[in-house]
Amino acid sequence: MASKTRIPKAELTGVYGAMVKRMSRKMLGAVAEPVEVAWHNRKVVNLSFSLSRKVRTWNRCDEQLKAFAHMAVASLVGCGFCLDFGYFQAHHEGLDVTKAREVPRWRESDVFTPLERDVMEYAEAMSHTPPTVTDEMSARLLDRLGAPALVELTAYVAFANLVTRTNAAFGIESQGFAAACGLQPLARPAARQPTA
């Protein structure tokens, strides 16, 4: 389910390109479009890979909370690729896919714990321009997670904004990774009623 990107996809060439294609197809079944678009500038590709590897080593905050935070950012920003990929990853990493499916409508859904809701609210608040994080939000999370985990969550949400906003600007949409795994479609938020 490939999309038309705003910057044309580049052919992954050379030994490095062949290795990236092989690894991507092994892990995902296809080459991710963000890689194909960014391939025009290898320094950007290298930075993206390096940051992603380093972020995956962080272990002070619960993986499921970070996954929900990233998907909440993706939903807010409108990054269909990240939502699809996050749902796909939740499935492959043994996270709660029922909850992951509901992230786009987390405010309306009854499947999330109060902590999970606080994390997604914080992720969205960090992602607004200007950010709308409050002292109360931070205090609740600091009390429940502790300082090391809150620092990690905050940096993780910032990283999620880098990825989601880049993909959205490139016009990259869902590649159907979750559908290829037989996962149900992501939940959609209820239509908002116009206010008078």
Which pLDDT value is given to residue 3?
Answer: 64
Which pLDDT value is given to residue 19?
Answer: 97
pLDDT single digits (tens) 133-175: 999 999 999 999 999 999 999 999 999 999 999 999 999 999 9
Which pLDDT value is given to residue 189?
Answer: 87
Read off φ and ψ for residue 195, nearest 5 degrees.
-95, 145
Two tokens at 34?
């963000």
- Structural domain spans, the chain: 14-56, 63-180
Q: Rounded CA gap, 165 and 127, in Å? A: 10
Question: The pTM is what?
Answer: 0.93
Instruction: Give ∠ CA 18-91-164 in degrees, rounded to 5.
Output: 65
CB 60 within 8 A of CB 31: no
CB 125 within 8 A of CB 137: yes
Which pLDDT value is given to residue 192?
Answer: 61
CATH class of the domain comprising 63-180:
mainly alpha
Regions of the chain short of the pLDDT cut 70: 1-3, 192-196
